[in-house]
Amino acid sequence: MAIKRLLMRRLRELLRLKHEHDLSHRALARACTIGVGTVSEYLARAREAGLGWPLPEDLDDAALEARLFRTPKPRHPLPVPDFAHLHRELCRKGVTLQLLWIEYRATYPEGYGYSRFCELYNRWARKLHLSMRQVHRAGEKVFVDFSGKRPTVVDRRTGEVIEVELFVGALGASGYIYAEAAPSQELPHWIAAHTRMLEAFGGSPAIYVPDNLKSGVTTPCRYEPEINRTYAELAQHYGAVVIPARRYRAKDKAKAEGSVLLAQRWIMAPMRNRIFFSLAELNQAIAERARALNERVMRKLGTNRRQLFEQLDRPALKPLPAGRYEPGEWKRCRVNIDYHVEVDFNYYSVPYQLLHEEVEARFTVSAVEVFFKSRRVAAHPRFHGVRGQAATLPEHMPSSHRAHAEWTPSRIIRWAEKTGEATGHLVSAILQNRPHPEQGYRSCLGILRLEKTYGRERLEAACARATRLGSASYRTVKNILAAGIDRLPPEEPVATRPAPLHPNIRGATYYAAKESAC
């Protein structure tokens, strides 16, 4: 009461000083020890109430207060928006709070203004779970991660308990959860889990948001992370992009963190007393529990994840390509001196012009591709089993190597026969007398090149003479030509005379009889 009386005295003094002395608002504020804004407000209220100076004598403090600070008339309560519906609608592409407010006012013309409408929605949204504070667009993001708590599989033969990984993916808008068990966090299992997840969704979101595990991010960086080449290729195959969460920023992947927690509580915890003897058996149980989790009604939103998925995410997902992604690994290689690169202990050719260059090899189960500056320069079927095998394409070889690779014994013999029958016979004898025909290639080519120096006729005569001498070699033919012996008439065979008859000469019949007796 004392405060009200003091307020009324100051108000009366304020009106007096204003009307009798016409002081400024700042001077009135100093005189009445109140703020300048308060002075403006009180004078405005007095004008609205039609009060001047002097005040009526019968106007006591209570009446003065009632006229200046009249209680507003009670208003009818304004219709409250359906905040859960607003939250779901904001997940659709292009939908904003302003659009939703316009639609709200179209239904309730006397409803809240835009500022109050936004304030009430934001106040409601702050009460949601932390992982739902972000507004995710339909079909935009999928958050993927491995659970820290691992499920187990028991080896039926040995009884060994084997820990496996729990892969979890969650769509941003609907929160729809996919989970499966994988043998490890290695790249092949990481890629395979993504492929099966997208097939379960029936489409692909635009952005994959992983943690900074090695299978997804080769080099973590806040500004320019280096994505694993195979993982980026998977995203490109499905028309998406990989944007990893920042290191030590859990809010960047709050949806994944929350979904992993849900998977641990509602998928793994109910199965804690069950024993699984294979990964397939475990994944079947996980799929059943994940289906139940997605059909649980969320209290805050009044619906379940499957319904939100069918309503929001599924229509917005990109359709899957016709072919399933075939995972491939990448390796940096240096082209060896034999213009081959080594992949998994086998060798694959590239164009010889890339000698000593650094290239990238992509290898899948069935093929090996080699890229130089992002351009494919070679493709080979992949070898399996025996190590040390080599795949060489003729177009990758220099012309000299290509000619050598095309040589075969039959081709060299046909080439020699073009010079003459004797030359062909000698070359054939050289190739047959070697443990491996390739060992005689150089000798044969040397003989054939002698034609350029000595001519076809002389080479044919020299080869005939070497054959008669029983010396099939390059050196014999060369010496015959160099000495000109090929020009001499062929020597007549020396007639053999019969051995004389003598008691001391046993003859061939003796040795034949001796051998038969043994």
Q: Structural domain boundaries of the chain?
A: 2-68, 87-127, 141-316, 329-398, 407-487
Q: What is the rounded CA–CA span in Å between residue 368 and residue 393?
A: 13
What 3-state DSSP class applies to 242? strand
Give the model's confidence band at 289: pLDDT under 50 very low, under 70 low, under 90 confident, else very high.
Answer: very high
- Residue 54 backbone zone (phi > 0: left; psi -120 to 50: alpha; other: beta): beta
Distances 129 to 117, 118, 293 between C-alpha atoms, Å? 21, 19, 17
Long-range own/partner contacts, residues 220-229 (CB < 8 A, 24 or more apart): 220/244, 220/247, 222/246, 222/247, 228/187, 229/330
Task: Check residue 423 and give its pLDDT.
Answer: 93
Which amino acid does the sequence have at 428?
S
Q: What is the rounded CA–CA span in Å between residue 254 and residue 260?
A: 10
Give the model's confidence band at 163: pLDDT under 50 very low, under 70 low, under 90 confident, else very high.
Answer: very high
Q: What is the rounded CA–CA span in Å between residue 137 and residue 425?
A: 83
Q: Does residue 224 have a pLDDT over 80?
A: no
- Of 440, 439, 461, residue with least CA distance to 450: 461
Strands (E), 118-196: 141-146, 152-154, 161-163, 165-171, 177-182
What are 85-139's pLDDT values in tens digits?
A: 888 888 776 678 888 898 888 888 888 999 999 999 888 887 765 444 456 788 8
Tokens of 262: 């849900």
153 and 278 Cβ atoms separated by less than 8 Å: yes
- Please state which CATH class domain 141-316 belongs to: alpha beta
Residue 347 CB-half CA count within 13 A: 13
Tokens of 82: 């359906």
Q: What is the rounded CA–CA span in Å between residue 268 and residue 271?
A: 5
Tokens of 211: 């943690």
| DSSP codes of every residue in 294-327 | HTSEETTTTEEHHHHIIIIIHHHSBPPPSSPP--
Task: Check residue 166 and give its pLDDT.
Answer: 93
Task: Check residue 132 and give its pLDDT.
Answer: 43
- Of 191, 192, 284, residue with least CA distance to 230: 191
| Most trustworthy range by pLDDT among 4-8, 221-225, 244-248, 257-261 | 257-261
- Of 122, 101, 103, 123, residue with least CA distance to 112: 101
Give the model's confidence band at 403: pLDDT under 50 very low, under 70 low, under 90 confident, else very high.
Answer: low
- Of 342, 184, 163, residue with least CA distance to 268: 163
Give the model's confidence band at 259: pLDDT under 50 very low, under 70 low, under 90 confident, else very high.
Answer: confident
What 3-state DSSP class applies to 423? helix
Q: What is the rounded CA–CA span in Å between residue 450 and residue 465?
A: 15
140 and 91 Cβ atoms separated by less than 8 Å: no
Task: Check residue 198 and give its pLDDT.
Answer: 94
What 3-state DSSP class applies to 79? coil
Q: Does residue 276 have a pLDDT over 90?
A: yes
Q: What is the rounded CA–CA span in Å between residue 53 and residue 46?
A: 10
Positive or negative torsion for Cα 30, 32, 38, 41: negative
Task: Check residue 223 and give its pLDDT.
Answer: 59
Give the model's confidence band at 77: pLDDT under 50 very low, under 70 low, under 90 confident, else very high.
Answer: confident
Tokens of 148: 């820290």
Give the model's confidence band at 204: pLDDT under 50 very low, under 70 low, under 90 confident, else very high.
Answer: very high
Q: Does residue 168 have a pLDDT over 70?
A: yes
* 465-479 CB burial, b ≥16 within 10 A, e <16: bbbeeeebbbebbbe
Q: What is the rounded CA–CA span in Å between residue 423 and residue 448?
A: 8
Place of tokens 């299992």: 189
Q: What is the rounded CA–CA span in Å between residue 372 and residue 31?
A: 86
Mean pLDDT, rounded, for 465-482? 91
Which amino acid does the sequence have at 179?
A
Place of tokens 């939908």: 95
Q: What is the rounded CA–CA span in Å between residue 456 and residue 458?
A: 6
213 and 146 Cβ atoms separated by less than 8 Å: yes
User: Degrees (nearest 5) of the Cα angle 189, 195, 201?
Assistant: 135
- Of 142, 135, 139, residue with least CA distance to 100: 135
Q: 241-242 and 207-209: which strand pairing?
A: parallel
Higher pLDDT, 89 or 346: 346
Q: What is the rounded CA–CA span in Å between residue 410 and residue 415?
A: 9
* Whole-structure pTM value: 0.51
Tokens of 324: 């399933």
Q: Does residue 29 have a pLDDT over 60?
A: yes
What are 474-490's pLDDT values in tens digits?
A: 999 999 999 988 888 87
